[in-house]
Structure 1
Amino acid sequence: RRIDALANRSFTDPLLRGRYPEDLIEDTAAVTDWAFVQDGDLARIHQPLDLLGVNYYATTAVGLWDGTTARQQHDGHKDVGGSPWPGSPQVEFLEQPGPHTAMGWNIDPDGLEELLLDLHRRFPDQPLVITENGAAFDDRVSVRPDGTLAVHDPERVDYLRRHLLAAHRALTAGVDLRGYFVWSLMDNFEWGYGYAKRFGIVHVDYETQRRTPKDSALWFRDLARTGTIPPPTHG
């Protein structure tokens, strides 16, 4: 409940309900009096939304820390000397079972379906769009006989396929889901990791700036053209 309030409801409630969650205000009373919320702020925040964007990559499991063992903190954040979860010292972030991406994030498409269904239950009249979903992997680059590059990323193809199937299950269950965007089009600079992690479906040679569509891009192209989820591997 505490982490859901900090990570999710602190955004959705003011946007869609016009208020901050009462439990969040109580949980964080020791670190803030909420004076930063000024008169008129919530009225400006609470506006009709054409679409609510949903970013999803992995799940997070939490539990109550018993205080007698080392506190687990597998929350995906680097240790910067403070907690991104104020008011939650009794919560520990449990290690997620695999498989994992190159970021160390677990792969769980069911979590996307659960998130979409939960948002639909809370806000049944709000259209949704998946604005970010993707994964970093160690892609395999090879040279074809004609000298062109091929970039093989079967793990990413599988990741995208399974998450799109999860999104489709939510859609058929009644979720008003209007669209899906892969993160990202091209390998890019990740703010916490520089150029070390590749999320793109298009490979970028950082020395030459040469762009090469990966197998996942070819797979996603077929999806966009046909409206049908292709088989796991590109032919």
Structure 2
Amino acid sequence: MHDYHAPADLLNDRIILVSGAGSGIGRAAALAYAAHGATVILVGRTVSKLEAVYDDIEAAGHPKPAIVPMNFEGAAVKEYEELAVTLDENFGRLDGVLHNAAILGDRSPVEYFDPAVWEQVMHVNVHAPFLLSRAMIPLLRKSDHASVIFTSSSVGRRAKAHWGAYAVSKFAVEGLSQLMAAELDDDRNRVRVNSLNPGATRTRMRASAYPAEDPGNNPAPEDIMPAYLYLMGRDSIGVTGQQFDAQPKR
């Protein structure tokens, strides 16, 4: 999977939603999906960043994307449901969702963790993917084959000290991924659900978590896209309920 070479037409005519699409891994994934033929729904909280991704996609001659400004920290259930109605009216289905948006919160022992920050991280990293998934499942069922990718983390598979709410939120994401995979198992060849750990990547969140680290030692988001393309495209049909790593073990 790490050496996967995606066909140029892998995502032709596919409708794919990417959360946190304005920067980092979300931006790289949106550009990669568009480059392989997808119409990408760019979801994020900062309009200027989404517009920059939109402009890059359009300038490259890829299918025209759509922008959906949404702040997951404050979005209400109704906003997710309204988004589903809008997508249904405009596209009639959804072929994929990449749950990428997340926040780090504090790197602090549980004993001293700020409860307000804990609640904020859990809301953005867990509640929002749940609400978005809940609203999108009916549209995913309308696809001939659809893929849902939850962004995980190594600390969401084995906790490490001082990773606080972020680690717990990623454990919850793993659980949600497995739960949805099991519940959609009757549609095995239509809606597949997997988790993907990007690993150490040159992003702003990584720099915040490891300020003393040389970012040049980590791959750029664009370098780990083979895994994102494989799981979103037709070559992963039938693959569901699994945990993947976007990078080989170091």
TM-score computed with the length of structure 2 as normaliser? 0.34
Tell me the TM-score normalized by structure 1: 0.36
Structure possessing the higher radius of gyration over alpha carbons: 1
Structure number with higher helix proportion: 2
